[in-house]
Amino acid sequence: MYVYQNGVIKKKEDAALSIDDRGYTFGEGIYEVVRVYGGRVFTLADHWQRLKRSADEMEILLPDYFTRKHCMETISQLVEKNNQPESWVYLQVTRGVQFRSHGFLDNMTPMITMYLIPAGSWEKERQGVKVSLAEDIRWHRCDVKSTMLMANTLMKTRAAREGYFEVIFEREGFITEGSASNVFFVKEGELITPPLSNYILPGITRSYIMQLAGRLSLKCIERPVKVAELPTMDEIFVTATGIEAIPVSAVGQLDYRSPGPVYTQLMDEFNQDIEKLKWL
């Protein structure tokens, strides 16, 4: 398996990291997961923009050579060298190496790694998955795509142990997002999703779904959603790069129609876009 590390593509066995990397000691890293369909990179411009924003917000300096073009070329090379046209690209940037001390130095050289993960298929899940509800115990900068994900991984694992596909977070009576996804609701034919804030990640799939809704003349409203409103929703689905959109058949004890008609309509459109992308 070939991976990328700070400008160089190498065998995975030859890639190494320092135990003093702040990504290891303090979890100081940012990341992106980008989808490759049939060898074609999907929505890279959006992921690139979000990565740059995460870097700026966390004061991680992306080196000059690490441009969007370089990133695109690297992904293409990884896809070719690994012969893996259906992939998730995992891209991570940590702050870099420094003897352990809370305060970080100026002008640190980040550690950039990229590798491919074979894309999963979610055939069974597209019929509907059960999700749980839990208190959002994360920090106040969920808008940054940080690798510091202990609250997410802990809650996701606990939910999985109980047989749930995902856990949806609530903060002070309002739904924020899933542990690794954004959430959409359908009520009386209209799409609803919580508005962007420091409590949710601006999902690339979230914005793609909103664009598709526009194209299909489906009304999509960004507004706070109360937990108390859950019983009034007709459909619920979760979105992320890795899963595209997956319909929710139950939130705890509350059942929903899945896959619902609005979900199905959006996924048909999404799949058509992917087919077009492959034949570009």
Which tokens belong to 85? 């046209």
Return the number of the residue (28 or 177) whose C-beta is nearest ligand PMP: 177
Q: Per the residue annotation, which of 145, 226, 276, 278 is the catalytic one?
A: 145
Rounded to whole angstroms, how far apart are CA atoms 214 and 208? 10
Return the number of the residue (2 or 179) whose C-beta is nearest ligand PMP: 179
Which tokens belong to 220? 């999509």
145 is a catalytic site residue = yes
Q: Residue 50 CB, nearest distance to ligand PMP (Å)?
A: 7
Which residue ranges make up the site for ligand PMP (CB under 6 A)?
A: 33, 177, 180-182, 201, 203-206, 239-241
Which tokens belong to 7? 């400008």
Q: Residue 70 CB, nearest distance to ligand PMP (Å)?
A: 21
Alpha helices (H) along the chain: 22-25, 44-57, 68-82, 150-161, 204-215, 261-278
Q: Residue 104 CB, nearest distance to ligand PMP (Å)?
A: 24
Q: Residue 139 CB, nearest distance to ligand PMP (Å)?
A: 12
- Buried (b) or exposed (e) across 10-31, using 16+ Cβ within 10 A? eeeeebeeeeebbbbbbebbbb
Paired sense of beta strands 166-171 and 174-178, if any: antiparallel
Residue found by looking up tokens 């980040």 in the block: 110
Phi, psi of 159 (to 5 degrees): -65, -40
Return the number of the residue (84 or 239) whose C-beta is nearest ligand PMP: 239
Return the number of the residue (60 or 183) whose C-beta is nearest ligand PMP: 183
Helix (H, G, I), strand (E, B) or coil at 118: strand
Active site residues: 145
